[in-house]
Structure formats: structure tokens, C-alpha cells
Amino acid sequence: MEGLALAAEARPSRLFVHTFGCQMNEYDSLRVQRLLAQDGYTLSSDPSEADVIFINTCSVREKAEQKVFSLLGRLRRFKQRKPSLVIVVGGCVAQQLGSALLERFPHVDLVVGTRALGSLPHLLRSLRGGTPRVAHLPEQDEEGWRELFGLTDTWRTDIVAPVTVMQGCDNFCTYCIVPYVRGRERSRPSGEILREVHLLVEKGAREVLLLGQNVNSYGRSLDEKLRFSDLLRMIARETDVARIRFTTSHPKDLTEDLVQCFSDIPQLCPHIHLPFQAGSDRVLERMNRRYTAQDYRRKVDLLRAACPEIGISADVMVGFPGETEEDFLATLDLIRDVRFDTLFSFRYSDRPFAAARLFPDKVSEAEKARRLTELQSLQAAITLEKNREEMGRVRPVLVESESKSKDGLMSGRTPQNRIVNFPGSPALKGRIVSVKITEAYAHSLKGRLLDEECSDTEAALPNRPFAGTELGDHGP
Ligand code: SAH
Ligand code: SF4
Ligand code: F3S
């Protein structure tokens, strides 16, 4: 293994970050940026001028892993052009492959496991001091955990700020690699989370998105006696955050106290992401999901009884080993019954460590593709129908940014998590405004600004006669 000594530089080191995967990776990348800022790094948006490139990786499906390999391959020429460049790979592929990544990609300098990101400043300093390339994958890194999660300052914040409340997963669904690459479930103490939410709000966040692979089991690993619903109530009571969301929920752990939160915490957005994965009990059992399709339907009924307007999204996969046409039809039935607002659908792929990789009766890629197309066209029709039902309604929208299509529109979300674009000024960013929905598309809505300042509770009241002037109500 060769050492790597970098020339002393007068200017601050520049860091380029690319993140694959879920919101938990996004959060970790923000924390890494903050940690390295303490060591004098500044963020760069151009990889060719970076001194350190940090790639945070995802391994959940085969395709995700391939994307990582393809990017790492492309980085080779950056290193050829600038030999002092340090390339660091973190996240789930790093944890999965460890030193095999160093062997396969000789231009990668550091591989850092999912529980070791807090050690990154120290590892980078050592590398710069001449220590050899290394894969650092501790099972549990107490110091690193404290470094990463105990930060009493935030790097920067957006209007919607992610906050990881728990790491890891103990569920071992048989298709899933996450428990193997993220380790055992571990919750953060409530005091630490509250402090972070306070700080984020102080810096301009209006909404927090609480993150974990299975937030419903929050608290199980803590000394304090606290359920996830208690944590939600504490955040609502003790901070000034305007909106709270969370993801992901596991149906087996969705308890009545949590369902109740949707009817009595005004800041909690009426939206839940509740993956169901399959509609056939036989498949659900072999996935080790520990609920039946009927249990799932019942949970949806409970949610809708507590909060009739709740938006429901989910994950589903097709082509799990042994999935028959009949099983697949049961999945379509569940989709028709529940009428999800949005659905994220995947083709099953074998993952290292996950038990289902050894299951017999694999479904062919062609069959998976056919099932996925059929499922997606059913859902596309439902999504569009539900989006059309929004037309004419008035929704409170938290304005997040200029719209992606760069057509002068502003963009935000309804409490149910629908994207709304509308003509308005960038000065509205961070405000909750009232928008009348005028058009519906496959993935978003278009609307007209009615009121430049309102709260979710005010605008959520049915038939609220718009008090005062209809500011900005001048039509598109
Ligand atoms: N913790 C979350 C999901 C994490 S992974 C939960 O429990 O719901 C995100 C989604 O990826 C999963 O919901 C599942 O639909 C999909 N997924 C996970 N492993 C997969 C695999 N091997 N093949 C295809 N899709 C997979
Ligand atoms: Fe994977 Fe299941 Fe854990 Fe979700 S709950 S991360 S799907 S093992
Ligand atoms: Fe991917 Fe790891 Fe998240 S596998 S989905 S980045 S936990």
C-alpha cells in the first residue's frame, strides 16, 4: 500500500460531495460537511477543483451499486490529472465491500463504513501525514457516533431540514441489505434531537423531516422510556418548527398512539410513507414482514379514520423469488383498494447477505419488467386521478424554492406532500402561503397564490372563507 503525502497548502482544502441513496445518506453527508468545515474545508461544486472528493454510497438494489461503480470509474481520470486528490468512499457500498473497493479501484484512498463517518477528519489528517490507504469499518464507533451526531452546530440548513432520529435496522426483511450495512437499531436521545431541531429552526428551517429505517420503533434502544409518538409531541410542544414529517414507518409497528398523533398534533403533516412491499400474504411471510395484507388495509383504515385527509405513499416490489401471477394480482388489488397518493415501485434484486438471495424460483428479468410496467401504469392513473381531485381546493403550501423547470414559478409542498408550482416571488421562500390548485399533472400540481401568509391549521380548515384580502389573487 502506498502512502500519500500532500503538499502543505496555503488555501483551504476544497471538498466535493456526491450522495447516492436515501435521505439518511443525505443527512450523513451534511454532517460530514460540517465536521470537515471544522477542519478548514470549504465546499466546492466542481469535482475538478476539489482536493477531497467524498462519495456517499447506496447498496439497496443492484442498480444502485452499479451507479456507484460507474461514478468511481469516472473519477480515475480526475486522480490522473491531479495526483494529490484524495478520494473517499463512505456509506453502504463502503460498508459492504470494505477493502475490496480499494483493490478494485486503486485511485480510491479511503473507505469509511457507515458507523465511522465521524472519524473522517482524523482519518484524512492521518492520510495526509503519510499513512497508507485504508478501509475503516468498525462495528460500533462510539467516538465517531458522538462526533457525527453530537454536533452542537449545524453546517447550514434548508427550509426543510432532515434530522436522523435513529440509525440501523433490526427487522431483517429477507430481501434487504440495510441491517447488514447499517448495523443494529440505535436511537438518539430525545434531548439531542430537540437541541438539533431548535438550532435548525433558529437558522431558518420551517419543517423537519425525522429519519430512520423504522422510526416507529424509536426509543427501544434508549434508557429513557419514550415512544416515537412521545418524541413527536415533545418536538411539537418544545420547538417552534412549523411542520413535522417522518419517514419510514413499518406497518407492523404502526401503533394507535402514533395514529392518534395525526389527529391531535397540528404541526404534524397529514402524510405517511408506509411501505407494504407486496399484497400477497404468502410473499409477505417469505419477506419476513410480519403483517398480512389485511393487517395493512386495517392500518390504512385507522389512519384515514383519525385523519381523513391523510396522504399515503408506499414502496412496493415485484418479482420477489417465488412470486406467482396470482401473488402479483393480489398486489394490484391492494393498490386499487388503498389508492395510494404516490407509490415507489422496484424490481426485486438479489443482495449480498440478504436471505432471499438463496430462495428458489427466481422470477425472470423479463417477467419482472412486465409486472413493473403493469403496476406502474395502474398507479399512474390513480395518482393522476387523485391529483385532479385537488383542483379547486385551497392548500397551505410551504414555499421551498424556485421551481425546477426554471419557468419563473415558485415551488413548495402541501401538507399531504404534493408538489405545487405557482407564480410568485422568491421572497416567499420559507413562508406557508395559501394556494388555490388550478391544474393537475402526473407528478405535481399548479396553483394560484391566494394569501401570502397563513398557517397550516388555518388553511387546513375546510371551507375556510378567505379572511381579508386575497393577496396575489390575480390569476396566472
Ligand atoms: N426501511 C424502509 C425501506 C428501506 S429500503 C422500510 O422498511 O420500508 C427502500 C425500499 O427499497 C424498500 O422499501 C423496498 O421496497 C426496496 N428494496 C429493498 N431491498 C430491495 C431489493 N433487494 N430489491 C428491490 N427492492 C428493494
Ligand atoms: Fe430493510 Fe426491512 Fe429494515 Fe426496511 S425494515 S430497512 S426494508 S430490513
Ligand atoms: Fe441505500 Fe444505505 Fe439508504 S443501502 S437506501 S443508502 S441505508
Please, which residues bridge with residue 209 across strands?
Answer: 162, 245
The C-alpha atoms of residue 430 and residue 263 are separated, in whole angstroms, by 25
Ligand nearest to the CA of 346: 1
CA 301–ligand 3 middle distance (angstroms) = 30
Query: Which of 120, 141, 162 is a domain's end point?
Result: 141
Q: Are strands 432-440 and 394-402 parallel, antiparallel or unpaired?
A: antiparallel
Same domain, 57 and 150: no
Q: Please give the pLDDT value at position 151.
A: 65
- Mutate-to-test residue for ligand 2 from 61, 166, 250, highest number of ligand atoms within 8 A of CB: 250
Same domain, 109 and 200: no
Same domain, 88 and 202: no
Same domain, 135 and 255: no
Question: CA 96, 100, 101 angle in degrees (round to 5)?
Answer: 80
- Mutate-to-test residue for ligand 2 from 58, 95, 169, highest number of ligand atoms within 8 A of CB: 169
Query: Which of 102, 117, 141 is a domain's end point?
Result: 141
Same domain, 52 and 200: no
CATH number (domain holding residue 434): 2.40.50.140
Q: Please give the pLDDT value at position 144.
A: 74
Same domain, 239 and 363: yes
Q: Please give the pLDDT value at position 149.
A: 77
- Mutate-to-test residue for ligand 1 from 246, 317, 368, highest number of ligand atoms within 8 A of CB: 317
pLDDT digit string (tens) for the chain, length 476 residues? 334 444 444 578 999 999 999 999 999 999 999 899 988 999 999 999 999 999 999 999 999 999 999 999 999 999 999 999 999 999 999 999 999 999 999 999 999 999 999 999 999 999 988 899 999 998 877 777 777 777 666 667 899 999 999 999 999 999 999 999 999 999 999 999 999 999 999 999 999 999 999 999 999 989 998 999 999 999 999 999 999 999 999 999 999 999 999 999 999 999 999 999 999 999 999 999 999 999 999 999 999 999 999 999 999 999 999 999 999 999 999 999 999 999 999 999 999 999 999 999 999 999 999 999 999 999 999 999 999 999 999 999 999 999 988 788 999 999 999 999 999 999 999 999 999 999 999 999 999 999 877 777 654 433 332 222 222 222 22
Same domain, 302 and 173: yes
Q: Please give the pLDDT value at position 90.
A: 97
Ligand nearest to the CA of 174: 2
Q: Please give the pLDDT value at position 143.
A: 75
Q: Is residue 473 part of a domain?
A: no
Same domain, 192 and 284: yes
Number of domains composing the chain: 3
Same domain, 244 and 382: yes
Which pLDDT tens digit goes with each residue over 304-326?
999 999 999 999 999 999 999 99
The C-alpha atoms of residue 410 and residue 423 are separated, in whole angstroms, by 6
Same domain, 383 and 434: no
Q: Which residues span the domain enclosing 50? A: 14-141
The three-state secondary structure class of 316 is strand
| Residues in contact with ligand 3 (CB, 6 Å cut-off) | 21-22, 24-25, 58-60, 91-92, 178, 181-182
Cα distances (angstroms) measured from residue 453 to each of 151, 409, 469: 33, 18, 11
Q: Is residue 5 part of a domain?
A: no
Q: Is residue 9 part of a domain?
A: no
CATH number (domain holding residue 284): 3.80.30.20
Same domain, 430 and 335: no
The C-alpha atoms of residue 420 and residue 397 are separated, in whole angstroms, by 7
Q: Is residue 476 part of a domain?
A: no
CA 137–ligand 3 middle distance (angstroms) = 16
Query: Which of 141, 166, 188 is a domain's end point?
Result: 141
CA 35–ligand 3 middle distance (angstroms) = 21
Same domain, 197 and 308: yes
CATH number (domain holding residue 100): 3.40.50.12160
Q: Please give the pLDDT value at position 336.
A: 98
